[in-house]
A and B are shown apart, each in its own frame.
Chain A
């Protein structure tokens, strides 16, 4: 199974700040890496697919990058609605696996 290690688990940040969340796979996943946002009410929103492609309707302040085993999600300037949980997920192989999550919270 491919293990996904996400960091940090908690990220205090301020409005307008640029933040980056990292995700490391236990083996190469050939860019098959997705990012999701989860709000406190449980709603899950897809953000990025295949490492760097924005899902429809996702603001351009979100971006993704990476290759091999190392990937990242960057939010260029935090807006109030961005404070939430973020998860990476690999779909290179079964079983699909998620990172442990990053809680982005207001400093």
Chain B
């Protein structure tokens, strides 16, 4: 079964850091570009970042450039999102997804609040 399982969310204070993980299974992880997509409470979907299959290329939405880092460990079939200098507006459910959109995780909630 193709599966993506996110972890690492929770409550964090503004200005602090948090790292999300996404464990992939059921497909050849290192063949696919991967992405993070977020959804603020009661809002729509927003693309956050994409990483190429081999990690050589990364792309970010403007609001997270310089603060968030997408990375991957193909040996562990795991995708990461390092989030630094967190702001209240980063509060959202974060979804891990294959860049082709075929597979999505269940999402993990990140709340940035003092």
- Chain A: residues with CB nearer than 8 A to chain B? 34, 36, 38, 42-46, 49, 55, 87, 89, 91, 94-101
Contact = CB atoms under 8 A, between A and B. Distances in A.
Given A95-B62, A97-B47, A46 B107 contact: no
A46 to B, nearest CB: 5
Nearest to A4: B44
Interface residues of B, number: 21
B104 interface: yes
A34 B59 contact: no
B46 A98 contact: yes
A100 B43 CA distance: 8
Interface stretch (B18-26, B80-88, B93-101): B93-101
27 contacts: A34-B101, A36-B45, A36-B101, A38-B45, A42-B39, A42-B106, A42-B107, A43-B106, A44-B97, A44-B104, A45-B104, A46-B101, A46-B102, A46-B104, A49-B100, A49-B101, A55-B102, A89-B45, A91-B99, A91-B101, A94-B50, A95-B59, A95-B61, A95-B62, A98-B44, A100-B44, A101-B45
Given A42-B106, A44-B95, A94-B50, A101 B44 contact: yes
A55 B95 CA distance: 19
